[in-house]
Amino acid sequence: MKKTDRTGILIADVKIRFLPPPPELRAVVETFWTLEGAEPSAEVESPRRVLPDGRPELIVHYGAPYRRHQAGAVEDDPRTFLFGQLSEPLDLAPRGAVRTVAARLRPAVLGRLTRTRASEFVGRPVPLDEVWDGSGAAWSQRLLECNSASEAVEVLSDQLRTLWPARSPSAVRTLDAAVLGIERHQGRQPIAALAVALGCSTRHLERLFRDHLGLGPKAFARVVRFQAALRAVEDPGASLIGQGAELALAFGFSDQAHLIREFRTFSGFAPAEYRRFHRANEPRARTLFSARSDPQVADDRAPGREA
């Protein structure tokens, strides 16, 4: 039985599995994941809310691609695509059997993988043949011909090894240090102070982030801070839940109104609304494409075929 919250978002019945990347790709891939779910009824789509989390994705749909509801528009996902950073929530609705394999990437790898400004991928899915001229179409075809999830992960891994540069320039290493600093401080460190600590200007840092990550450093820090607060709101044992002013102070928001504005920007809910939604729908309320997994053994059934 599917559940729904008062906004009308239905939560599809899906199973998510995780597979850790090989050691040589740990700087590129946070985790590989597979998603499988039953067909929805013909009368209703079942959207799931996807929240900004600072991670881009490489996604392959072996079942019916999702239908994307975003900024008032409705479009169908491509079969194979790259999705850059999100700066607002979107809703995805399955249109049939859900079978997906994907790579959840590290925050700041897109510029190096694509040789294109990462800001061009923000908030939209881009088919692989448009991301990588020439090789993208062949890679997409290889992925769609895979007979199992593990084979698809191998094809993804092989291409990522080919695309990833053997050595990163010093400027990009500065970016990696900046991302680490923002995440270590949960988005609360002033960007000017971060730039001083790294020995560069804020303008240089801004350019690095937009070229390689997609969002500017302040925007990325906002997403990181939101995610830290989100985890506290989702945690049933968190002592600050129900104490909005204390929650805002704990995560570096200027006041409770600031916390609520940021929550609405990135999730569509106020914190208390989101907590009620999450409690009513857990475990189905986990957002797609944003799981912070403890890697598990992937389900090795064919992603687009019967076992």
| pLDDT at position 178 over 70 | yes
Check pLDDT > 70 for residue 10. no
Question: Would you list the domain boundaries of the chain?
Answer: 14-163, 170-281
pLDDT the model gives residue 294: 36
- Give the architecture-level CATH label for domain 14-163: Sandwich (2.60)
Q: pTM of this prediction?
A: 0.85
| H helix intervals, 98-216 | 110-114, 128-131, 135-144, 149-163, 170-184, 191-198, 202-212
Q: Report how far apart, in Å, the C-alpha atoms of 223 and of each of 103, 137, 187 are.
A: 20, 32, 8
Flag whether pLDDT at 213 surpasses 90.
Answer: yes
d(CA 219, CA 259): 15
In the predicted model, what is the mean pLDDT of residues 133-157?
A: 93
Q: How far apart are CA 277 and CA 9, in angstroms?
A: 10
Provide the pLDDT confidence category of residue 241 given band limits of 50, 70 and 90: low
Measuring CA to CA, how many Å separate 127 from each of 9, 131, 234, 291? 27, 7, 33, 23
Instruction: Copy the structure tokens of residue 177.
Output: 């240090």
With a cut of 60, say whether residue 26 has pLDDT above it: yes
* pLDDT over 70 at 11, yes or no: no
pLDDT of residue 16: 86
Share of the chain above pLDDT 90, in %: 60
Is the pLDDT reported for residue 25 higher than 90?
yes
Judged by average pLDDT, the poorest of 10-14, 47-51, 129-133, 214-218 is 10-14
* pLDDT for residue 278: 77
Distance CA 304, CA 99 (A): 6
Per-residue confidence band for 242, with pLDDT thresholds at 50, 70 and 90: low
Q: Higher pLDDT residue, 69 or 225?
A: 225
Q: Model confidence over 263-306: pLDDT tens digits? A: 999 999 999 888 887 777 665 444 444 444 333 333 333 344 33
Topology match between the domains 14-163 and 170-281:
no
In this predicted structure, which of 19-23, 80-84, 295-299 has the lowest mean pLDDT? 295-299
**pLDDT: which is higher, 11 or 174:** 174
pLDDT, average across residues 170-194: 94
CATH number of 170-281: 1.10.10.60
Per-residue confidence band for 238, with pLDDT thresholds at 50, 70 and 90? low
pLDDT at 138 over 90: yes
pLDDT band at 152 (very low <50, low <70, confident <90, very high): very high
Q: How far apart are CA 250 and CA 240, in angstroms?
A: 9
pLDDT at 27 over 80: yes
Residue 36 binned pLDDT confidence (cut-offs 50, 70, 90): confident
